[in-house]
Structure 1
Amino acid sequence: MTDTGSDARPGSPAGLFGPDSQFHRFFDDPRWALAVVRATVLEAAHPQIGAALIDNSTFVTHPWRRLRNTLVSLQRMFGTDEAVRQREAARLNRMHARFSGTDERDRPYDAMDPGVRAWVVATLFESSVTMCRLSGQPLDPATMEQLYAEFQGFLAALGDRPGHLPATLGEFWPYYDRMVAEELEGTEALHIILYRLFDHLPAPPLLGGLPTVWAAGRALAGPAIGTVTVASLPEPFRRRAGLPEIPGARTLMHSAYVAAGLARHLPDAWLQTDRLTALLALSPDSDDPRLATLTALRSRMKQAGALVRLVAPLPEQRTGDEAGQSQRSAAEFFADVLDQTGDGYLTWPDLAAMARELCSRLDLDEPAETRLYSAFADWWRELQAALDTDGDGRVSGAEYAAAVPSLAGPALIRVAEVLFEAADTDGDQSIDAGEYRALFRTGFGRTVAGAEGRCSRSAFVGDFLAFMAGRRHSTAYDPLLTGT
């Protein structure tokens, strides 16, 4: 890898980061969505990454949340502020250090393995190059070299030593071909992304109250996205992984990339990735002023949904508005809140995923992050001792439902207290509206209870326990811990 020590600094002649970078220009490119999906599939095909995703990731149950967090992280890493970049790199390293274990064939995986991290960066770079080529607008050699240097700088910013990603672009392509030919497999995570994620993709919060419209659109878009992605993968890998060869798939793939390329000429305000994802993340009860503009559109979409139901009725689904403050059954609470990874069991990775989301929302530093993880670990030990009746190291939905537990034990109370301390950034023993928004920013649509718009420690802890132990729907916590 090239030395990016001084050149990676903001404002450097190399322009590796910030608005002058090639990556920054790609970030709001509609083709980037196709490239990211393709890169994710190639990452998941690596045995170590695939195993880490299966054991630890919430990409199946909370894909929109995962997408939003990924985009925020990339913006921090490729922005102009070196301090922000270093802070984000440290956060990513702490997070990845927690992902290790063995797969179903007892092969070890470690998200901090430098070769694995290099492959993640390699897939992003190669998929960016491929998206341009497939859309009929290939990168010229100089631009390709610049983009490769930027991704090398990204890996260097994470603290990885040179050598695991080839030093030159000329050396990269043999490395990439070797990885595809020798390392990639048809992993379980790859098949979930291609054939389960898009076919069962939950609606983003903004469209959560329109299940019929969403289901109808997903039924068409899901298989199409999967087909386009498979057709764009390297042919030797498709053959080895047993991925289907669908007639017309390559035509559909080229059409999708060309159409996305043409969409780049739409007004800039329509294409800004952070604005689009923020809109999708709006809950129907949000106080965001943009929601008023979307109310009429939602009404029209509901009318469209009614027409769809006349043609092809779907099972009735309860919306967030209809749920209000009603209680969930034990089975619903287990599936919606506790089972964050979607594997049907409550294990430590599920509670770690909750801690990870809370730490990300609040952008905690290392000491505060460690305290929150430790509190969740203590809660996991408490739950395991109370609910794991067969001693297999995990809690099934049946074990949870049979126990009808009251989860408000000492460890859960401690989780609530540590979360309060993390959210109370000014240490005044109350949470004001700004601090509350930092935690509940996608679902903050109510006035904070308490004097002068503040929430006391006891009120905050009480709300958290009422949600976690009482299994009640919550305007604030539903988007945070059950939001997609």
Structure 2
Amino acid sequence: MTTETTGTADEASLFGPKSQFSAFFDDPRWALAMIRATVLEAAHPQIGAALVDNSTFVAHPWRRLRNTFLSMRRMFGTDPAVREREAARLNRLHARMSGSDSRGRAYDAMDRATRAWVVATLFESAVTMCRLSGQPLDQDTMERMYAEYRAFLAALDGDAAELPEDLNDFWRYFDRVVENELENTEAARVILYRLFDHLPAPALLDGAPTLWAAGRAVAGPLLGAITVASLPEPYRRRAGLPEMPGAPTLMQGAYLAAGLARFLPEGWINAESIIEALSLSPDSDDPRARTVTALRSRMKRASALLRLLTPLSGDTNPDPAPSAGTEENRRSAEEFFRRVLDQTGDGHLDWPDLAAMARELSTRLDLDEPEEARLYDAFAAWWRELQTALDTDGDGRVSAEEYATAVPSLAGPALIRVAEVLFDATDKDGNGSIDADEYRTLFRTAFHRDLTTADGAYGQSAFVGDFLSFMAGRRTGTPYDPLLADA
């Protein structure tokens, strides 16, 4: 019994606010390290294929960032029950991701060696982050942090056998994978050259596309150059990545500048608050939303001034002119397809897009396995219905053109069933209506005025009607916009 208690205490000491991992959560350098780690993950053939087929990181990167951040918070928190529940959720999520890449090579998101590589990139990027910013970790700190990451892997897989026990052996393992297994995958190229150049604005800045495009035109190439310069030299050589003049100096300067944040008073930089603020929608009842709304108004004026003074060429996403569809608070078929249906951003609608919707809804509602399975099954049935109705060329997916020519057939029985299952999942107490707390869990805002009823609840009929109005009627200004359309 003493041994078991000691083991539990040792494991607990590797998580929580006193862990080395938690010390990095509010560190600006961590953002650079996470981008670098993501590229190294995407360069692995199995992970790269899974990302291209299933991930929403291209079309909805800010949502992906928020979900990843919250997941890591849960995994490295002090509550073992929360950690176990989150690990189970992640395993169910990954169990649904398998297939083959463009060369016919199979991938499986539950492959233990592949999952170990994800953890390895996080650890190595954290160590590199400290080294590049002039604050290298001492051996004892590295040993402790490595133990934390192995404990993280053990929480997911049951053990950490796929990562070497000894830190010195880890470096040999890491170098071997970099030199022999990593490739110039499509996913890695997308992150380095497409994502930064075409990064959609977060909800906070969605109202000022010209201003966002101007900032992105400068910051995007810089982030790409910094990330490439920070990657291991053997991978840069094998992948044929460009060696830009001055990039190493730029990269070193970026890490050093980010490292200066350690001189700021404690609490001045809070990653969770920043991510939450970026995700605020205009109609949120969060107290910060009023400040954000005022900021949006100022940014729109600045955007208009910038457009007058310095017209930009190329892909600047200018403010769209009002259209008939906009005047009716409806998206065009093309815009709805791009912003809502094509969740993975590959230009087509297929099962991974609807699975991504189910995944986001399940995450928001923190569903257990039975409810999660029901929601996925409902979306799978909807996909079969869509494929039958819209896939006219029989290629197994739906193009934007096929969708535009057959929009009326979108609202079939399967979509209605999705709305009903989603209502049941949101109605936690099963009383047949959604109260204010349940509504907030799904939409992260309070009831809209037009939804408030005499008994302060939201019935199934109204819920289903609003869902169909959004999905089939392409209505804007609904609570589903920040849920499924925002980046």
TM-score (norm 2): 0.94
Given the alignment of the two structures, is residue 97 of structure 1 paired with residue 95 of structure 2, yes or no? yes
Given the alignment of the two structures, is residue 67 of structure 1 paired with residue 70 of structure 2, yes or no? no
Taking a change above 3 Å as real, the CA distance of residues 170 and 409 of structure 1, as seen in their structure-2 partners, is same
Taking a change above 3 Å as real, the CA distance of residues 444 and 478 of structure 1, as seen in their structure-2 partners, is farther
The structural deviation recorded for 1:479 is 0.6
**Structure 1 residues 38-77: Cα deviation after superposition (integer angstroms, max 9, x where no partner):** 0000000000000000000000000000000000000000
The structural deviation recorded for 1:170 is 1.0
In structure 2, the partner of 1:317 is: 319
In structure 2, the partner of 1:283 is: 281
**1:304 corresponds to which letter in structure 2?**
A
The structural deviation recorded for 1:311 is 2.4
The structural deviation recorded for 1:318 is 4.1
Whether the 8 Å contact between 1:445 and 1:475 is mirrored in structure 2 is: no
**2:319 corresponds to which letter in structure 1?**
Q
Distance in 2 (CA, whole Å) between partners of 1:400 and 1:106 is: 28
The structural deviation recorded for 1:5 is 8.3
Equivalent residues in 2 for 1:22-171 (5 A)?
22-171=20-169
Taking a change above 3 Å as real, the CA distance of residues 101 and 14 of structure 1, as seen in their structure-2 partners, is same
**Structure 1 residues 244-302: Cα deviation after superposition (integer angstroms, max 9, x where no partner):** 10000011001000110002322433311111100000012222111223344334333
Distance in 1 (CA, whole Å) between partners of 2:335 and 2:422 is: 24
Moved more, 404-413 or 203-212: 404-413
Question: Which of 187, 190, 193 pairs up with 2:188?
Answer: 190
- Structure 1 unpaired stretches of 5+: none
In structure 1, the partner of 2:242 is: 244
Distance in 1 (CA, whole Å) between partners of 2:470 and 2:301 is: 33
In structure 1, the partner of 2:413 is: 410
Residue aligned with 1:406, SS: helix
Total equivalences in the alignment: 479
The structural deviation recorded for 1:449 is 3.3
Taking a change above 3 Å as real, the CA distance of residues 295 and 402 of structure 1, as seen in their structure-2 partners, is closer
In structure 2, the partner of 1:232 is: 230
Question: Which of 306, 309, 312 pairs up with 1:308?
Answer: 306
The structural deviation recorded for 1:324 is 7.9
Distance in 2 (CA, whole Å) between partners of 1:193 and 1:379 is: 31
Question: Which of 389, 396, 399 pairs up with 1:393?
Answer: 396
Taking a change above 3 Å as real, the CA distance of residues 18 and 477 of structure 1, as seen in their structure-2 partners, is same
CA RMSD after TM alignment: 2.0
Distance in 2 (CA, whole Å) between partners of 1:26 and 1:128 is: 8
The structural deviation recorded for 1:361 is 0.3
In structure 1, the partner of 2:468 is: 465
Moved more, 211-220 or 180-189: 211-220
In structure 2, the partner of 1:375 is: 378
The structural deviation recorded for 1:17 is 0.4
In structure 1, the partner of 2:333 is: 330
**1:205 corresponds to which letter in structure 2?**
A
Whether the 8 Å contact between 1:213 and 1:301 is mirrored in structure 2 is: yes
Moved more, 442-451 or 218-227: 442-451
Residue aligned with 1:49, SS: helix
Taking a change above 3 Å as real, the CA distance of residues 5 and 128 of structure 1, as seen in their structure-2 partners, is farther
Given the alignment of the two structures, is residue 176 of structure 1 paired with residue 174 of structure 2, yes or no? yes
**Structure 1 residues 86-116: Cα deviation after superposition (integer angstroms, max 9, x where no partner):** 0000000000001100000000000000000
Residue aligned with 1:27, SS: coil
The structural deviation recorded for 1:443 is 8.8
Taking a change above 3 Å as real, the CA distance of residues 366 and 8 of structure 1, as seen in their structure-2 partners, is farther
- Structure 2 unpaired stretches of 5+: none
**Structure 1 residues 189-222: Cα deviation after superposition (integer angstroms, max 9, x where no partner):** 0000001101111111011101111111111111
Residue aligned with 2:175, SS: helix
Taking a change above 3 Å as real, the CA distance of residues 332 and 302 of structure 1, as seen in their structure-2 partners, is closer
Whether the 8 Å contact between 2:426 and 2:439 is mirrored in structure 1 is: yes
Residue aligned with 1:269, SS: coil
In structure 2, the partner of 1:298 is: 296
